[in-house]
Amino acid sequence: MNGENIRVHVLAGDIGGTTTRLQIAACGGGHCRLLHEQRFASAAFAQFSAVLREFLRNAPAAEIHAACFGVAGPVQPTAGGQFVQVTNLPWQLDSGALAREFGIARVRLINDFQAIGYAIEHLAPDQLLVVQPGEPIVHAPRAVLGAGTGLGQALLIWQGEHYEVLATEGGHADFGPTDELTVELSRYLLAHFGHASYELILSGAGLVRLYAFLREREKAPESATMVEALRQGDPAAITHAALQDGDPLANRVLDLFVRIYGAQAGNLALSAGATGGVYIAGGIAPIIASRLETDAFRQAFRNKGSMSAYAARIPVTIVTDAEPGLAGARQVALRL
């Protein structure tokens, strides 16, 4: 892109419980050129402002015209903008305070899954993997959900020329068992946590909970490697053991995770009337994409009684791009 076409510098962020990603891009003429990008371990900082100060210290000097941050937490409107208490961190973000501290004229905070939703229209075909082709209806509602540190969900509604994205906290909805095994799982969660929600299962920590549940239920043997990994609460060890090592218990854990993931994706499809499609995003989906392409996932998605045929017509697609939240936040910043 020629320098003369550059009109604005935008700052975009994807703020999660595990990782915070920030970037500055120069945009104009319908294109953006990346100037600087960096990622940080969120837990290493007491507040988001400390992360942003570090990022800007390393970035090339440039006036930032607008900023948008996708944040893992519910966004509350304020007199001067928006406020977010991050769900899995002790961070509090206020758009007005950030604008004043860092001298940015326009700052907006959105939910992290809103940011992913805004990216959907701009993803290339090679960033998407179709699980169920369905029969998409043009401009119909869409939905996005994804397991990562937590379980995010958002709705996409067509508004004139593009989709607007509505944040939800539907990941915290009550878990609904579908067979005897998941009835037992519900009882297990109630006994240990006092409630049973989808986020307690469909998340990194949820994989660890499923492993503990099945290990206890089946009195299953486990390797020394898995004992140590689970002692440290490392969910990646479970997916690695299942997909790479063929560990029997880890495989049963992943199978159960996939079936519950499919069931909740189908629940969201019905609740949103998402005949435009359901998109599976989040940090875990690209890692287990081979399992999400299976009949087990599709059958769980479609198993909706009298609405099974309706669910079978809804397209389901995995977002394989590693950082769609940044792309969505950048789009929102450009609109500012």
Residue 326 CA to residue 118 CA, distance in Å, equals: 10
Helix (H), strand (E) at residue 140? none
What string of pLDDT tens digits covers the 336 residues of the chain? 444 455 789 999 999 888 899 999 998 877 889 999 999 999 999 999 999 999 999 998 888 999 999 998 889 999 989 999 998 899 999 999 999 999 999 999 999 889 999 999 889 999 999 999 999 999 999 999 999 888 999 999 999 889 999 989 899 999 999 999 999 999 999 999 999 999 999 999 999 999 999 999 988 777 777 787 777 778 999 999 999 988 899 999 999 999 999 999 999 999 999 999 999 999 899 999 999 999 999 999 999 999 999 999 999 999 998 789 999 999 999 988
CATH topology of domain 171-319: Hexokinase; domain 1 (3.40.367)
CATH topology of domain 3-110+323-335: Nucleotidyltransferase; domain 5 (3.30.420)
Number of H helices, E strands in the chain: 12, 14
Half-sphere exposure of 178 toward its Cβ, with a 13 Å CA cutoff? 17
CB atoms within 10 A of CB 265: 29
Domain ranges of the chain: 3-110+323-335, 171-319
Tokens of 301: 């998605």
How confident is the model at residue 5, as a pLDDT?
Answer: 54
How confident is the model at residue 12, as a pLDDT?
Answer: 97
How confident is the model at residue 3, as a pLDDT?
Answer: 45
